[in-house]
Structure 1
């Protein structure tokens, strides 16, 4: 079932969302200071291609101060635009009855899009100790 969901996701929005994350990652890697943002963008792009069966987790105690600063910078530079991509894709998918669950999945991904630092993407059945699931697809 996960494979079927991933194929439909890939065909109806996942590919284009992943391309937007890859583009953001390439732009971020142009400057040495923003390479961590580029790496985070590439990680999320990989998740956008094949999300079902994986889970996004965050540490239970919260993140670091540096992670919070990086999240604010990411949000202002790329997070807003990538979140708008998710909203547009969700609106396009919600037009059909079959696309409504995928539209909801796009909306659930917006917090990860806006604040990626401190999050990890793991297999759905392998959540590390000390982490709580944020998004389970």
Structure 2
């Protein structure tokens, strides 16, 4: 079921989301200041490419206050809009019974879009 869900996800917009995140991440990596944010954008892109069967976990070690500061900057600069977009599409997909599994994947991406620093995709 994971394979079928991922294939349908890719056909109906998952690959476009992946390309958007990766291109934005590469653009952010051009500057030294933007590299941490670019890496997190690429992390979101990896999840957007093949979301079924993946989980988001907090890292085992304590990343310290730097990840908190980076999460706040991420949220102010653009993370809130990314999260709201995924929330909107998740609610839209939950309207139909067929769209519920894909809506769940968007809700999974909402949590990572809010605070990507200090998390990893498993």
**Is TM > 0.5 for Structure 1 vs Structure 2?**
yes
**2:44 aligned residue:** 44
Bigger helix share: 2
Deviating more after overlay: 17-26 vs 39-48: 17-26
Please tell me whether residue 109 in structure 1 is matched to residue 109 in structure 2: yes
> 1:42-81 CA deviation, whole Å, 9 max, x = no partner?
1220111101222211135654111111111111112112
Bigger strand share: 1
**1:29 aligned residue:** 29
Residues of 2 paired with 1:61 and 1:46: CA distance? 22
Kindly report the root-mean-square deviation, in angstroms, between the aligned alpha carbons of the 2 structures: 2.0
Deviating more after overlay: 99-108 vs 39-48: 99-108
User: Following TM superposition, by how much is the alpha carbon of 1:102 offset from its aligned partner in structure 2, in angstroms?
Assistant: 1.3
- Say if 1:13 and 1:89, in contact at 8 Å, map to a contact too: no
- Say if 2:47 and 2:109, in contact at 8 Å, map to a contact too: no
Cα 1:26–1:60, aligned 2, differ >3 Å: closer, same or farther?
closer
- 5+ residue gaps, structure 2, are none
Count of residue pairs the alignment pairs up: 122
- 5+ residue gaps, structure 1, are 123-137
